[in-house]
Structure 1
Amino acid sequence: MSQIIIGKTLAELCNDCTEFLPEVTIIAYEQLKTEEPYSGKGNISFQSIVQEDELDGRKPIGSAQTSADGSFELHVDAAKLTPGLTLHVKLSKLPHQRSEVKKTVQIRVATFTPDRWEEEGMKVTLRLYQDFWCNVIRKLYDAWVICGRIVSCKNSKIPAKGYRVTAMDKDLLNDDNLGTAITDDNGYFRIDYQSLDFKQTFLSFLGLNVETPFNTGGFGPDVYFQVQSPDGDVVFKENREVGMQPDRKDRGHCFCVSLCVPLEGTATSGGWLRIARSLKIPDDRSLHAFDTDGFARNGFALKGVLAMQGNVPPTSSLETLTGNPYEYRFLVSTTVTAANAITASRTYIDQSHFSPNVIDGTSPYFQRVLLGTLTSNLSNDSVDVYLEQSFIKADGWVNLLECIRKTFQNDPNLDENDLNTGSWAWDSEFLMGIDSAKISSDMSPRVTTPTVNTPGDAIAQPMPRQKIAIRFEMREVISEGVYQTPPQSGTTLNSVYISNADPVLKMDLVDNRTNLCSPVSGNIGVAYTVHHPHLRSASITLRKSGGPTFTLTDGARLPQNDILPTGTATINNANLGINHGANNISLSRCTYMLDLHVSLRRLIGDSIETPEPFPAQAFFYEV
């Protein structure tokens, strides 16, 4: 039997800043008696670089490659998981590495024991902790990073979006520019650099690079910052002597910082930014989580409720609710006429395709979500505000200020009059929930799971791949019937694949029995049919009671571990030989189990869908 391990790999830069590890190899080994079970951060000494002699005679029982977001799916032989499983990470470069250092390192990360395993697979997070990652691994690769956030000096809950941050290193003669970054929608920024960026001196032409001033007790940069607004105005500039303060002097390979700047009195909005928390929609700079065709995160379709995430303030005032209200709405089109693109001149699908499918007060596609949290800057009390369908206007517009007021009106413990005074902070969560399953069922042709009566049969009517487009509109209410349209309005995801139908999974033993309760003998095989428009992997294993597990091969059909997003949708065979033909497995008198393993290229929220286990088929073989 094959055990599935679904996980994500990340490393800590500081307490609130982590990085995913893409394109690294996850390697599984049987746990050694000398390896203690991993118990979290208290057992951080377990993480270490593995030397070659430590691997002598130790064979991997499985391996997998991580994707762009550090996620992986690992298949291992369940018979080899006693007493436990040790996972290593093998890498040859670091995320955003600027140095020319090239080397391959294998890291022992964690050991898991059988109490973590479940029928549908074990979910793990391989977390490389800050002390080891920054002081050992990043030092090895000469990889330095500054991770920071910029917020309003008046209200730390308001991020400074789109600000340009420059990090400098104070030197004896000429200060070094470590790098520049633009803050994201939540005010975060990241600057990556190498030691050469702060160690060049007047002696560098002789090949001597060193940090100055000399003999200061450390070898890292002495950091100070300058910040410019999106318009290019310098709004924050530290004196270079700040670099000699204890919290800025001789910074290590990971340095985290918080800065504040004065923000103007008008609220800024990023509009619609993501689906779920990590699937950023294309903009003028990047396709982000989607490709041109509409697949998310390197070839995945989306399933279930699509949570629209973004940043829309209740009003145009930063700290009161007395400014002009903002309204927004979402529209869905099942007519996809354009691909996703990066360029500023890209063509959005025409608005006329969306008119029948506004997510309004009666739409069957609506799903309730948490809009955000309103916090009083005076009392620090907070109120969660949810989007109820009754709050949405007939034409689909959501007025955030009205949603807040109705929340106060519907709660006897809240006083609506409090909204008219004082100072408030709005922390946006989600903008709308859209039920893709109901959209799937309304699309033409309607997608239903085909009926297969006999395992091994082909699919007469394959399930099509479904795509939709999503449009976001926004406006500022100047007065009744008078609106101003901000530039974020009209943002459109031209193409996104959705998938909600169950896969076709059929499997049966092919034998000469006339009675299902009888033992089997002679030549036996397996008949199977697997079908889904978003297949990711498929395999069949035969496991002997108390013995080994065999993976059956069927030419180019099976096994398949990484089916392309637009690859095959159907895999079938009416009689794949088990103890004859290509497999020719020698069977002894014993009980055997046939297992069908299938995974799909589907995301539920931010996570890869965990495959449902297919019922194993047992039989007794008589020699």
Structure 2
Amino acid sequence: MSHIIKGNLAAYLCGRDCSENLSQVKVRIYLPVTEANAAALSSAEIKDTFREVSEEEIKSKQSKLLAEAETDMEGNFSIKIDEKYSRSALEIDFYCGTVPRPPFPPKKGKERQFHITTFVPQWKASQDQETWIANFSYIIPDKWWCLIKGRYFDVWTICGRLTDCETGKPLEGITVIAMDADFITDDELGRNTTDSNGHFKIYYTSVEFKKTFLSPLINIETDVTLPFASGPDVYFQLEYGGQRFALETKADRRNNVGYCLCVKLCSKELIPVDPSTPPSFTHFGLTQHIPIQSGIDLSTGKTLAGYAFFSSVNLVGTISKKINNLQMEYLFEYQEVTNPTDALNPAGWNPIVPNMIDKTVIGYLWSFTGDPSNPIAYEPYFINGTGTEKTVTFNGDWIQVPQDSNFAAHTDAEILKLNTEKLTGVTSIDMSMPTSGIGNTTVSASRPHVSNRYFAIRMKQRAVGGSATIAGTSKPIAIYNVLYQNVNKYGSWAHATVDNQYIALSVDLEEIISGSSGCSKITTDLHVKYGARNENLGSVSLSIVGPHKPGQSFGFNPIVLMSSPETFGSTQLVFTPPTDTVADLLPCAYTVSISATALLTTGDSNLGSYNDFVSFCKI
């Protein structure tokens, strides 16, 4: 029968409350150097047997090595022993060149060997009676393991548990962030998310707490009170849903901590940390995130992709609760110019007043729910909120940032939603005309050419009662808010008109228009007439759906856009083979469709395509 030692190696980091498996280390089994004291050593206390083995001793006992194996990720190992040594006492060492450091790869260093104990196997037969098995399990004391990881491999560890101070329940799914309090700037040492019992482990190296403003040229711990202390000064913050909270402050720091830090943390309220980014206006749109300067073409006032703005636009930036320890308030201003390249007038700014602002979320109130599996809830804070919603207070046209202790102000997010229709007004153009007008210009005294308008936008911020400063000014942007009314649709025989169209788009057939009933049939000729109007047309295209003969195809040549504000004209089918004409179409029903786009954006979404169609019968 074979003899197998099945074992497991683990280590304490903070006593029984925090441990880890010894993965990917080599377990070595030796015969004792001398048998005389084997029995005494096998019964000795662990604290008296565990020690580092010198290189000379490793060499001297090489001839006594019976077998070795590597532990798996759970610290388990299995080693087969020759039957002739099964009644002997055995020395067990482990040999490692790495130690755990999640979520990073194992930290590598000089390989070292440690003696665990002398072990006298107690063999038991396996269920199949074919193998003798001896079990061995060992947990390295925390004082040893923390010293090994820290001194030899520069891996420092924080073990802790986070609970609700009021209920004592563990807080699950919250990121705990370890900070090092420094004289110049506080460094983040590491972070980890709590499990269902509120436990977390944070691993870091001395590199994280030796950073200075001169790093990486000069790294040294810059402690607040002891500039050359060996360990970091640790305090904790929390993070949930992308928002940071001040669980502790620099004043609560634990000075000069050792290789292992064991903590029990509890939170009774959520106090958001103000962003390090100063209050500022930086972008248009949360989705497209268009920079207010580099993202705008000065020659056109449009985005670099050629889009003008319309409708409701998110103004994106950062606000904070306080400026110089006083409540922050901010407003936006606008200035219209004739051309986007015109110089701005320092005295030409006007405030964006409350009724120009659409309902806007500028931050959230955070609170504990008491539910361990979903511990934190948030409630949005609005500009122009309604009903029972939390809503800001205006100081004239100034927006006052809420001061609730659990309020988190937006960082690089929407801070005002500008209704550009209130800024420019909405121009309505009546497009009512006979269908015979389709395919011709629509510009007239009653339907004038309405061009883009150009507005610069800027943000001002101040502490209440203090002086205002500018926190971001955009290049003048092109804005177009025109709606077309009574637009012809569906050709002559199913004629209808529609209102409130961002693109006036129509298609019809000359042969049907000229018929007395509007239901004329197509025989030998087909002239498609079309018209599309918007100052910022992007594309106009025609297509046709219907049956074709074998080897036959037909369609329309691409439509070339005219200069603003419209594109119109007449075209005919292009056939393959080119000798075919309308007379060669199969007698059936066909539909001609037109589609158009306009280059208009809110910064979050673009205007969708518009369509029209007309059907006919070929006889």
- What's the TM-score bracket when you normalise by the shorter of the two chains? 0.3 to 0.5
Q: Which has the larger radius of gyration?
A: 2
TM-score, L = length of structure 1: 0.39
